[in-house]
Structure 1
Amino acid sequence: MSHAEFDTFRRLDVGTARPLLAHFHGGGLITGTALDSQMIPLWLLQFAESRGAIVASPCLRLLPEALGSEILDDIKDFWGFVFTTLNSIVAQTYGISVDLGRVAAGGGRHCAFDLDSFAFSPRPLYVPEAASASISEYLSNIKPGTFRVSSPSPEYRGLFQAAFNTGRYRDLLRGDRHMRIREALRKAKDVPPIWIAQGVNDRITSQEAASELVQEIRAAHPDTPLLYSLQPSGHGFDVSHGMTEAWVQEGLRFTEQHW
């Protein structure tokens, strides 16, 4: 993992041990960067501030230069950093500590992916020859050892759109078998409580894909608390929503029951 950027939200009436919100930026694992205002929902920042929480947002290696397994390694390294190093950094910098017994993780505007199920991959909207050719050219020009960890929007948006519009997102995964949701669910001993918010009109991560994922989680881990919020909106709808939205309030009540 390259590094993690984080910010703190202070309140005088909150003690020195702060809960942690880990935020993984969107962008389909192709584009995006940590603490990008276009990637972090307003309600999350308001919630963090109201609870005096620390927000940590890691920079991960991105597709297609990195394999899916390498991105998963970065996520593992991030959690290692959180539980071994983060407390000393915030103590030295801010004079506070992290309550490692109160950790929540989330992200938004991610693609849904699974190498075994087409329903987890958005349907092609159109298949222009030029878009497909651009993906093939990009993949053929990747030099061994190169990687990206940050591509602020709108960088690489063209590659992102071409991959989804042509149905070739799996090609960017380059057959990495580690990116199997079903297999991960089967292997996991425990799955933490999950809140999934989905736009009904999302054309990137479809409602069908999200609903199938919810079914997979419930089938593999029936005891895992899960809240599924469907909203009549499109992709990334929650970025501009604040804490006063009814569906957000329901989700935050669910979150605090387990946080």
Structure 2
Amino acid sequence: MAPYDDTTAATRFDSFNVYETHFKQIGDHKIKVAILVPKDLKPGKVPLAVKFHGGGLVVGDALFPDWIAAFWVPFMHRNNAITILPNYRLVPESSGADILEDLADFWSWFNDKGVDKYLTSQNVNVDLDYKHLLVSGDSAGGYMALQSGLTRPEGEINAILAQYPMTNHTRRSPEDSMLGMQTPSREWMDEKLASLLTPGAITSSAHPYKTDRFGLSMALNAYGRYNEFFGEGERLWPITAVKSVKFVPPTTIFHALGDSAVKFQDSVDFVERTKSVVPGVEIRLAYGKEGDHGFDGALKEDEEPWLKEELQWVESRWLF
């Protein structure tokens, strides 16, 4: 195994050439997409992986390394794959409908050879293999990955790897903690909203450690205001959107029993509903053991037999 397993968050991108462009522009606001090209990329057809970032649809950025699990780095190198990481608009400045619009626009850009065109402009010549496409994401990124699978044509996506995905809106009380953090006060939330909700405001990138939007995500859910901004409707959440589809790509879900951010039961419910409405679907709930949200961030494939098995399963659907 190549020495990429023990990559830390601080050096997670060191073995890649990192490129940034945008797939969409709203007025003067550009929505970023990043591209990770392995420095040891080999000649020939190059499979593709699209990876969406987490953050409760309120916070996050495509190139925030802490939310890209360590196992992802050797996984991409081993398969000689390029990773495409899109941003998207965030709540509360934008709605769930806006986010799904960004998702559709990203896929239009992607299928219009946006990656090829940009890399060619940077004198990077690669033979991208659109017939071998993996879509992944953690938490809110898992939401985006699953929504991709539910909205894209059959055969476009070969496999989905969703880590503790948001399949439903988060239900919590003000007394609940998340990853050891306490919910901010209602007064704090109201002041934060007043500072953000200015006419025409758009946010599509928010560093988790340099902003306090994490607290806002917790508060919006705890005080019952998340859906006020995100919106309501069956298509907005995978748990209800799946009822109207006839196909779901082969999917594996990682989720820990003790997840304090996204309920483990939500993944159980999504898997059961998907199996009930899509006969013969390949969908797995691969991890239901100890741990909290983000439990897999530092995991190494060779130290976790279940992870090794699941990544081999993903490869078998993605690449063959």
After TM superposition, the score normalised by the length of structure 1 is 0.88
Confirm whether residue 5 of structure 1 aligns to residue 5 of structure 2.
Answer: no
Confirm whether residue 121 of structure 1 aligns to residue 175 of structure 2.
Answer: no
Aligned partner of residue 4 in structure 1, secondary structure:
strand
How far has the Cα of 1:48 moved from its partner? 0.5
Structure 2 equivalent of residue 214 of structure 1: 271
Aligned partner of residue 104 in structure 2, secondary structure:
helix
Alignment partner of 1:143 out of 164, 175, 198: 198
In structure 2, give the amino acid aligned to 1:60: Y
How far has the Cα of 1:43 moved from its partner? 0.8
Deviations 1:201-259 (A, max 9, x none): 11111111121111121112132211212231111011111222212111111111211
Structure 2 equivalent of residue 257 of structure 1: 316
More contact order relative to length (CA 8 Å, sep ≥ 6):
1
In structure 2, give the amino acid aligned to 1:210: S
Give the alignment's Cα RMSD to 1 decimal.
2.3
The CA distance in 2 between the partners of 1:134 and 1:113, in whole Å, is: 27
Size of the alignment, in residue pairs? Answer: 253
Deviations 1:142-194 (A, max 9, x none): 12321101001122122123234445433342446641334421232321111
The CA distance in 2 between the partners of 1:32 and 1:53, in whole Å, is: 23
In structure 2, give the amino acid aligned to 1:135: M
Change (3 A) 1:210 1:239: same
In structure 2, give the amino acid aligned to 1:121: T
After TM superposition, the score normalised by the length of structure 2 is 0.72
Alignment partner of 1:159 out of 191, 208, 216: 216
Gaps of 5+ in 2: 1-23, 25-30, 141-164, 177-181
Gaps of 5+ in 1: 115-119
Structure 1 equivalent of residue 135 of structure 2: 105
CA contact (8 A) 1:39 1:109 kept: no
Change (3 A) 1:59 1:35: same
Identity of paired residues, percent? Answer: 24
Higher mean C-alpha deviation, range 165-174 or range 67-76: 165-174
Confirm whether residue 24 of structure 1 aligns to residue 24 of structure 2.
Answer: no
Alignment of 1:1-259 (within 5 A): 1=24, 2-11=31-40, 14-84=42-112, 85-93=114-122, 94-110=124-140, 112-114=166-168, 121-124=170-173, 126=175, 131-140=185-194, 142-154=197-209, 155=211, 156-175=213-232, 178-229=235-286, 230-244=288-302, 245-259=304-318
The CA distance in 2 between the partners of 1:91 and 1:17, in whole Å, is: 16
